Amino acid sequence: MVTTRDTGEVKHLYQMIKAVRTLQAIDPRMQLQTVMCFLMVANFGPCHMSNIKETANLSQASVSRNCAALGKFHKKGQEGFGLVETWEDPMNRKSKLVKLTPKGEALKDALYEALSKEIV
């Protein structure tokens, strides 16, 4: 059965497609968990990795791995995306904080623009 969608629903989905394309410009193979970690930092940052873990419902290992991919260096010395930076929490050395880099802020702005442009 085919259902028709109202214009508002179609516009919202199209805006989401534009946002995904903006993220694909960074890397067309970027994993959804990596995107989720980026969006959490963009929305709540600077924040603790443990907050991302709880809010995104990911394991601590996934958060650490994805924040590394979003950071300066990824696994085995590969270059990361350079979108976030992490550092040890001076009040709790077991905890890490994460925030957007200027490149990450620019991507955040591009996502807001993709989602806010009026679709005709």
- Which domains, from first to last, does the chain contain? 31-114 (1.10.10.10)
The answer to whether 48 and 96 have CB atoms below 8 angstroms apart is yes
How far are the Cα atoms of 2, 97, 103 from residue 72, in angstroms, in the given order? 47, 15, 11
- Helix segments in 4-118, DSSP class H: 7-24, 32-44, 49-56, 60-70, 102-116
Tokens encoding 78? 């590969």
- pLDDT score of 76: 76
Percent of the chain with pLDDT over 90: 61
pTM: 0.85
**b/e sequence 31-41, b meaning 16+ C-beta within 10 Å:** eebbbbbbbbb
The answer to whether 36 and 54 have CB atoms below 8 angstroms apart is no
Tens-place pLDDT, residues 73-94: 877 778 899 999 999 999 998 8
Tens-place pLDDT, residues 20-44: 999 999 999 889 999 999 999 999 9
